[in-house]
Structure 1
Amino acid sequence: MKEYTVVDLFCGAGGFSLGFHLTRRFRTLLAIDNYNPAGLTYKLNFPMVKVLLEDIKDVNDSLLRKILGGAKIDVLIGSPPCEPFTGANPRRERNPLDRLYKDPVGQLTLHYIRILGVLRPRFFVMENVPAITEDGLKDALLGEFERVGYERVYFNILEAENYGTPSHRRRVFVSNLKIQPAPSPSNITVKEALSNLPLPGGFPPNHDLPKEPSHRKMKRMSRLDWGEAMIHYQGADKELPNLIRLHPHRIAPTVLGSSRFIHPYENRFLTVREQARLMGFPDSFVFTGGRDDQYNMIGEAVPPPLAKAIGLYVASRLDEEGG
């Protein structure tokens, strides 16, 4: 079967790329991110891909042409930062349009669209939180995509647990396709996701014990039932839980960069490897950088099982159009 080409913007550690690679239908030519631990992690796991550690604002047409050498790009994927839009951010701009046009981080979404207009791939898939469509933002984005030549754009809401991810994650995948992947037959529970792992320490990579909590925290931790949180913090419009003791017979809550979960049976936080399993990363995928960097990269990734389901669907549509 034909292999298609991909460019990944705001690639992070590479969860989105990994899912597309797992289909065996795609080859990533270029990945871009300005977060050094993410770029190093990406390069370690995808040694054949060109990785550009650069601020997207400084990536211009001539640099892209120089790196890609005129290669035809079939698909542009990417995940601009969601912090300006998410309700979990208590400091997001009050005016929704300011989140896109005034917030410097929100403006990075416009740079994704700018590069989309330069590369002109057959399909694009941009991941973010559903709040990026709220209160006039959807119409603003439609106008920006139309300006670079994409008049038909869809806002596909997908939930990761329906595609083989052991945690809840509801995201919008903005695309010039109606994305309708084939769902998994059943959900994967926390217990299933963490099964067959040895005691922390040694193999597999990233499976060392986190720092032991203080005596006071350990005492509070030991009293938590499944599904209970040790703390709550204020989001933009509601309180949100953290330090949750996972329920072994359910999927995990949404994994965020700030998420730390408590093991369902033991009085300790999850290892990086256990956290990665909740997002569907294989044990062969190695994270570099400090431990907080590793948790953050996992929480900010597109879950590979969901990315794979999207990749298979996109490949089928490319095939239908004649490769």
Structure 2
Amino acid sequence: MNMSSLSIVDIFCGGGGFSCGFKRGGFKILVAIDNDPACAKTYKSNFPEATVVVEDIRNINGNDIIHLAKQKPLIVIGSPPCEPFTGANPNRMKDPIDRLYKDHMGQLTIEYIRIVGELKPKIFIMENVPAIIEGDLKEALIGEFKSIGYPNIYFNFLKAEDFGTPSHRLRVFISNIPLRPTALKERITVKEALRDLPPPQFSNIPNHEFVPLSDKKARKIAKIKHGKAMYFYQGYSRRLPNYIRLNPDDIAPTVLGSSRFIHPFEDRLLTVREQARLMGYSDHHIFYGGRDQQFNQVGESVPPPLSFAIAEFIKNIIVY
């Protein structure tokens, strides 16, 4: 198989983190779909070659995608919303199966599977939080994929920090092939990730603007030590930290859409660009929408270094 046939469709594309690594690896992005206009603007600006569709996936079928792409894709990737499954959601449904079949957003995972069944790609990869296989969910997902013609399903648990991302992130990549990307020996620390960024007031780097703070918050931030949090919020079963002052000599904690981090050396919050650095984004990747939308796009994405490692693994088994 030659390189020109390495084609991708990205469902629930967000700001494009999952696609980033595949594009860097030489894959061609044909079509990307998301129902959020800010995500679509971000995606289109960074992947001008792709057809970007702003639409609810429920209103799209495989023939629509093939018509837009002018071909069947080799690979379908995508990250259905994790909110129905994650323990960070205090309102998730008690029964794991209900999270997939009764939760309105959880049903979008079934829509992803439907699209895969209609497109019949050689490879599909669906990313989500590990909690998507809690209880009976794993067997339910295996059954759903089997019903569309994929009898062998693999649950690949990958840590982003093992592949050059300066933050911790354990996610499951559900696919019809085993994924064994090559891990790096060294980890990138917060200090290394941020070191060549000028202070926001002396910078014209996109998405690198101060995050406004009230005087009260600014006074609180000044007292927070490395690795400590200013706030805690209640998740499904435990309290979770936010406004953590980053330890410069370690990787960052998991970056979420709701995450705000305190700079390791300055008494301020990280900018969107600094947070994107913690996810391994290049400074050329521009985020659009309001500031909170930009933070969401960063925190809800697959880190580009991890997606690149996956892309390289797939390319090697397909091309060679």
Q: Where on the TM-score scale, by shorter chain, does this alignment land: which range? A: over 0.9
Partner of 1:89: 89
Partner of 2:149: 149
Per-residue deviation, residues 268-302 of structure 1 (Å, max 9, x unmatched): 00011000000000001100111000000000010
Partner of 2:42: 41
Partner of 2:9: 7
Per-residue deviation, residues 62-99 of structure 1 (Å, max 9, x unmatched): 32232123x13111000000000000000000010000
Return the letter of the residue paired with 2:95.
N
Per-residue deviation, residues 130-153 of structure 1 (Å, max 9, x unmatched): 000110000000000000000000
Query: 1: distance between equivalents of 2:10 and 2:227?
Result: 35
Query: 1: distance between equivalents of 2:65 and 2:309?
Result: 28
SS at match of 2:200: coil
Partner of 2:139: 139
Query: 2: distance between equivalents of 1:167 and 1:20?
Result: 20
Return the letter of the residue paired with 2:23.
H
Query: 2: distance between equivalents of 1:118 and 1:74?
Result: 13
Partner of 2:259: 259
Return the letter of the residue paired with 1:134.
E
Query: 2: distance between equivalents of 1:152 and 1:64?
Result: 25
TM-score after normalising by structure 2? 0.97
In structure 1, list runs of 5 or more residues that go unmatched: none
Query: 2: distance between equivalents of 1:209 and 1:61?
Result: 43
Greater alpha carbon shift after TM alignment, 247-256 vs 201-210: 201-210
Query: 2: distance between equivalents of 1:168 and 1:283?
Result: 20
TM-score after normalising by structure 1? 0.96
Is 1:101 aligned with 2:101? Answer: yes
Partner of 1:27: 28
Partner of 1:184: 184
Return the letter of the residue paired with 1:66.
H
Q: How does 1:216-235 map to 2 (within 5 A)?
A: 216-235=216-235
Return the letter of the residue paired with 1:19.
G
SS at match of 1:108: helix
SS at match of 1:313: helix
Return the letter of the residue paired with 1:91.
N
Query: 2: distance between equivalents of 1:142 and 1:281?
Result: 32
Partner of 2:67: 66
Partner of 1:205: 206
In structure 2, list runs of 5 or more residues that go unmatched: none
Number of aligned residues = 317
Query: 1: distance between equivalents of 2:135 and 2:288?
Result: 38
Q: Please state how far the C-alpha of 1:61 moved relative to its aligned partner.
A: 3.5
**Does the C-alpha gap of structure 1 residues 75 and 61 become closer, same or farther in structure 2, counting only changes over 3 Å?**
closer
Runs of 4+ residues deviating >6 angstroms: none
SS at match of 1:126: strand
Contact 2:51 2:69 survives alignment (8 Å): no
Query: 2: distance between equivalents of 1:299 and 1:167?
Result: 11
Partner of 1:244: 244
Q: Please state how far the C-alpha of 1:177 moved relative to its aligned partner.
A: 1.1
Query: 2: distance between equivalents of 1:137 and 1:157?
Result: 16
